[in-house]
Amino acid sequence: MKFKSAYIVYLDEQVIGYIENKNEFEKLLEQNLYNNLEENIAFSDINAEIKYESKLINKDKTTQEEQVFLAIKEKSDVTYFQYAINVDGVDREYVKTEEEADIIAENLRKELGEEINVAVSTVYTKELDIASSQELASISEELELKIKQEKEEEAKKEASTINGVYLAVNPISGNITSRYGARESIRDHTHKGLDIAAKTGTPIKAAAGGTIEYSGTMGGYGKLVIINHGNGIQTYYGHCSKLNVKVGETVEAGDVIAEVGSTGNSTGPHLHLEIRQNGKYVNPANYLYK
């Protein structure tokens, strides 16, 4: 006999190889693809049409079971399950078993208190994202620290937000030499901002993102930049030695907009910083330089 019985395998009408025994090959697919017992697989299927055609081939020709299996596997659609530790509505970490998730969740409840909502849920996904066994030992502590840090950042941001505008950056570093509301001999009214002393030429940064509304010289302010941040919020940067921006430009928080100077009604190099809401003066120290 020069020939032996075999099967051509078609995948979506394309030949992908030869197999020797159709029944045995289908069992292989059933065990390893359709009913995959690998951990955390919820279900799997093959998104392709498989056909077999009986064929006599040369008895010396090698069949290609492994090649055919891998080609079909590439078309398989696997859905996994994992357990999420959910904190205040956000999935924070994923683990392999419900038992692991329950232990971590209970530890978090004890450490974070009842005001934080911690829950466990089953998540179905196309790609697993579960913590390793090494990570499990410290996951509660890491999550607890991360959540506390996030809460602190949220509180800090909220305390530095005025009418929806987050004043994220102190424009310069230096000593505050005159505070909002101060009465001093150099002026005939209470102080409407903060004075922060610094060397001439020190870069001045935008406290928040916005549009340059004014950049020029204005009376006692000397060289002045005004940024409109939207929502009725403006910041003023006075007594500058140099202006780095033009009217209409857009800036982000932290962008350098000018340099410290002593122009206008000034007794020495410093930044005069004002915040206005709908044209009314606001104490900058309520939001910056805390």
Domains of the chain (ranges, CATH numbers): 3-74 (no CATH), 81-159 (no CATH), 165-286 (2.70.70.10)
Contacts of 231 (CB under 8 A, 6+ apart): 163, 164, 165
* pLDDT tens column, 91-150: 988 998 999 899 888 888 888 887 788 999 999 998 888 877 667 667 777 787 888 888
* pLDDT tens column, 222-278: 999 999 999 999 999 999 999 999 999 999 999 999 999 999 999 899 999 999 999
Q: Is 25 exposed, middle or buried (0-12, 13-18, 19+ CB in 10 A)?
A: buried
pLDDT of residue 185: 57
Give yes or no for a contact between 198 and 270, defined as CB atoms under 8 angstroms apart.
yes
**Token pair belonging to 212:** 């340059």
Task: Provide the 3-class DSSP secondary structure of residue 57.
Answer: strand
For CA atoms 251, 253, 255, 260, the dihedral sign is positive
Q: pTM score > 0.85 for this model?
A: no
